[in-house]
Amino acid sequence: DTAVSQTPKYLVTQMGNDKSIKCEQNLGHDTMYWYKQDSKKFLKIMFSYNNKELIINETVPNRFSPKSPDKAHLNLHINSLELGDSAVYFCASRRTGGAEQYFGPGTRLTVT
């Protein structure tokens, strides 16, 4: 059983397109995150959701819009993709108040 899953694993698309990445966790956690990892491996938090409510939006362009249909899912929609959006995007989850955080396997987005 995969605790945090993401689809797709790879996404290649052209500039200007709109794309979505899906995330699901089966851990019963109520806080979910999106991180962006660039080529230097920095893990940059983008969004934090708690019980389907947005908690953090770390100066992310409004082309990025997270959507949480329920506590187990946090999807990331990206409009008008740019070359600089190329990165690996990780979903993660944590029980609010807990310490351990679990990451998904990542989605490698390549914008050409």
Partner 1 sequence: QQQVKQSPQSLIVQKGGISIINCAYENTAFDYFPWYQQFPGKGPALLIAIRPDVSEKKEGRFTISFNKSAKQFSLHIMDSQPGDSATYFCAAIQEGSQGNLIFGKGTKLSVKP
What is the C-alpha to C-alpha distance for residues 31 and 50, in angstroms, rounded to an integer?
A: 4
Residue number, 41 or 59, with CB nearest to partner 1: 41
**Contact call for residue 105 and partner 1 (CB under 8 A):** yes
| Of 16, 18, 26, 42, the one binding partner 1 by CB under 8 A | 42
Find the angle CA(90)-CA(41)-CA(36) to the nearest 5 degrees.
Answer: 30
Q: What gap in Å lies between CA 74 and CA 50, rounded to an integer?
A: 10
Binding residue for partner 1, selected from 25, 48, 68, 93, defined by CB under 8 A = 48
| Amino acid identity for residue 101 in this structure | Q
Residues that bind partner 1 (CB under 8 A): 4, 33, 40-43, 45, 48, 50, 55-56, 90, 92, 94, 96-106
